[in-house]
Amino acid sequence: MSFPYAPKVPDNPSPARKRAASEGAGEGGASVVCGALVLPSMLLTLLPTMLAMLLTRPDTGSNGLEWVAAAVFWSLPSLFGVLAALFGILAVRRHQRDTAAWSAGVAGLSLVGTEAAFILLPGVIHVVVTALP
The CA distance from 32 to 81, in Å, is 10
- The per-residue pLDDT string of the chain (133 residues; one tens digit each, 9 = 90 and over) reads 667 777 776 666 566 555 555 565 788 999 999 999 999 999 999 999 999 999 998 888 888 888 888 899 989 999 999 999 999 999 999 988 888 889 999 999 999 999 999 988 888 888 788 887 7
pLDDT at 66: 83
Query: Which of 77, 76, 54, 74 has its CA nearest to residue 65?
Result: 54
13 is a domain residue: no
The alpha-carbon radius of gyration of the chain (Å, integer) is: 24
Does residue 15 form part of some domain? no
- Residue 33 located in a structural domain: yes
Residue range of the domain that includes 103 = 28-131
pTM summary value: 0.74
The answer to whether residue 22 sits within a structural domain is no
Predicted local confidence at residue 124, as pLDDT: 81
pLDDT of residue 36: 95
- Predicted pLDDT of residue 115: 92
In a domain, 5, yes or no: no
What's at 80, amino acid-wise?
A: F
Residue 91, judged by CB atoms within 10 A of its CB (0-12, 13-18, 19+), counts as: buried
Asked if residue 8 is part of any domain, the answer here is no
Number of domains in the chain: 1
45, 68 in Cβ contact below 8 A? no
Q: What is the CA 84 to chain-centroid distance, rounded?
A: 3
